[in-house]
Amino acid sequence: MLKPEDNALLTLVTGDAPMGAWMKQNFWIPAALSEKLESNEAPLRVKLFGERFIAFRTVDGHVGFFDEACPHRGASLALARQEDNALRCLFHGWKFHVKGEVLEVPTQTNDANAFCKTVPLKHYPAREGGGIVWVWLGQGRHAPRLPEFEFMTLPSNHFVTYKQVANFNWLQGVETTLDSAHVGFLHRSHIAGMGHIAHAAKELAPVYEVEEQAYGFRYAGLRNLNTTSRYVRVNSFVYPWFGVIAPRDDYQGGAVFFTVPIDDENSTYWTVRYRMDQAIERDAVTLFSDPADWPPKVPGAAKDNWGQDRDLMRNGHFSGFPQHITTEDLVICESQGGIVDRSKEFLNTGDIAIVRLRRILLREVRSFMERQKEKELAPTPKGQILDACPDRVMSDALAHQAQSPYDHIEYGAIRSKAGLLPIEQDWRSL
């Protein structure tokens, strides 16, 4: 269990909350699906960490990311016109270039050009990779390195990226991703016949071994199937919210799950599935024949047990949620409430990875708080966000000048693996 103050430190991300500040300063934030930003179309409204933004794609393909509120009178720039790689606010015609320059203030009667330079337009560097629009919401001149996982280097037909708005705190989603023990219970009806992952239902009390790494930690769930063999799943947690999960069967690739805060009690639940060796079919990934069925929403309200099908359970389905594995995870996390009270938990040895996750997150956010106190990070001038990456490609020189202490992480080398091993063989041999 956690002390209430530690639970608050881990979960709260809005306003001046230290966890939110740590995330925004040190990491690129997944903000939107690239495919949702169409050239010269309406800006997309995005909410992150309790704040409202807009993202848009210009005619020349660049992505802009601004505060939603026009700096003049607060009208929504989601209503703005696109003109010449810029947005023009409908209210009074102020015009803002995709790179954050204020081009026109038609209502200014004198020295309009000089006035434009004083307008505090908040804009943020945005990049694209893996079907995702990433944004840096931190302060300072230099952005951290983009988390270039191996799926981000693949052709677009080798990965599938999707997301779902979820009604629970970000940490609940991350903890569920890292909870290998629940696979054999909650997902047992889905994993039957799904390759070697079906072995997770044969031994329901995995033994954990955890090793800290520069990126966070990796952990092995060890399930002895008999006196000679065991099923091993080795997954990784990567700062600040990524779970790199072993593939369901023996192929090159896997999945990356991440839960990004919308506010304190709502999140975006992201999934990327990929294959290194060949193209990946969407319906083979989602288990749906019709892509329009995706994403797998929670099928009902809490008062109706979230749409749980009890008749199906009586006929053999374990959870009563036949839609998808992800549906089961979303329902469980939502059932815990907006922010679960971890001071009332009663944990066991099946929760070792969860305990380690909380421990290192508390360590990292407290270290960040100390650095802030010592003013190691120079503050940005009030009312100004310096564009660390005006274009979609960051130069090597800029990357090396970044200020995040996590820039040494080699994201592309982080892989997870699962399979059967002789019982005497070390799991690291995977």
Q: Which of 135, 170, 187 is the last residue of a domain?
A: 135
Q: Does residue 23 sit within a domain?
A: no
Q: Which of 135, 164, 199 is the last residue of a domain?
A: 135
125 has pLDDT over 70: yes
Average pLDDT over residues 276-298: 64
Residue 229 forms part of a structural domain: yes
The more confident residue out of 392 and 194 is 194
Among residues 337, 135, 165, which one has the least CA distance to residue 261? 165
Same domain, 92 and 234: no
- 378: which residues sit within 8 A by CB, 6+ positions away? 140
45: in domain: yes
Residues 182, 123 share a domain: no
pLDDT above 70: percentage of residues in the chain: 90
Phi, psi of 246 (to 5 degrees): -65, 150
Distance of CA 322 to the CA centre of its chain: 25
User: pLDDT at residue 74 above 70?
Assistant: yes
Compute the average pLDDT of residues 300-315: 96
Same domain for 214 and 306? yes
My answer on whether 236 and 350 are in the same domain is yes
Q: Long-range contact list for 292-299, CB < 8 A, 24+ apart?
A: 294/162, 295/162, 295/163, 295/164, 295/326, 296/164, 296/323, 296/324, 296/326, 296/327, 296/330, 297/164, 297/327, 297/330, 298/167, 298/327, 298/330, 298/331, 298/334, 299/323, 299/327
244 and 192 within one domain: yes
Q: Which of 159-168, 276-285, 418-427 has the lowest mean pLDDT?
A: 276-285
Please tell me the predicted confidence (pLDDT) of residue 194: 83
**pLDDT surpasses 60 at 398:** no
58 pLDDT more than 70? yes
55 plus 198 within the same structural domain: no
CB 414 within 8 A of CB 147: no
Q: Are 215 and 411 in contact (CB under 8 A)?
A: yes
User: Which of 78, 101, 135 represents a domain boundary (last residue)?
Assistant: 135
Does position 21 have pLDDT exceeding 60, yes or no? Answer: yes
Quick: pLDDT tens for 179-188. Answer: 999 999 999 9
pLDDT value for 264 = 98
Q: Count of domains in the chain?
A: 2
- How far from 153 is each of 104, 158, 200, 345, 378, CA to CA, in Å? 39, 10, 31, 41, 33
What is the CATH classification number for the domain harbouring 94?
2.102.10.10
CB 194 within 8 A of CB 332: no
Instruction: Kindly tell me if the per-residue pLDDT of 255 is higher than 70.
Output: yes
Q: Which of 373, 383, 409, 377 is nearest to 142 (CA)?
A: 377
Residues 86 and 188 in one domain: no
Which whole number is the average pLDDT over 114-129?
Answer: 96
Does some domain include residue 42? yes
Q: Tell me which residue of 265, 257, 262 sits closest to 341, measured CA to CA.
A: 265
Instruction: Please tell me the distance from the alpha carbon of residue 60 to that of residue 398, in angstroms, as a whole number.
Output: 23
424 in the same domain as 275 = yes
Least confident residue range of 2-11, 201-210, 289-298, 404-413: 289-298
In this structure, are 180 and 128 located in the same domain? no
Q: Give pLDDT, residue 401.
A: 45
Is 270 within the bounds of a domain? yes
Judgement on whether residues 34 and 182 belong to the same structural domain of the protein: no
Residue 401 falls within a domain, yes or no? no
What per-residue confidence (pLDDT) applies to 386?
A: 41
Q: Looking at the domain assignment, is residue 314 inside a domain? A: yes
Residues 214 and 127 in one domain: no
The residue segments making up the domain with residue 297 are: 155-357+415-429
Is residue 143 a part of any domain in this protein? no
In whole angstroms, what is the distance from residue 430 CA to residue 426 CA? 8
pLDDT of residue 247: 87
Same domain, residue pair 204 and 121: no
Rounded distance, CA 163 to CA 176, Å? 16
Is the pTM higher than 0.85? yes
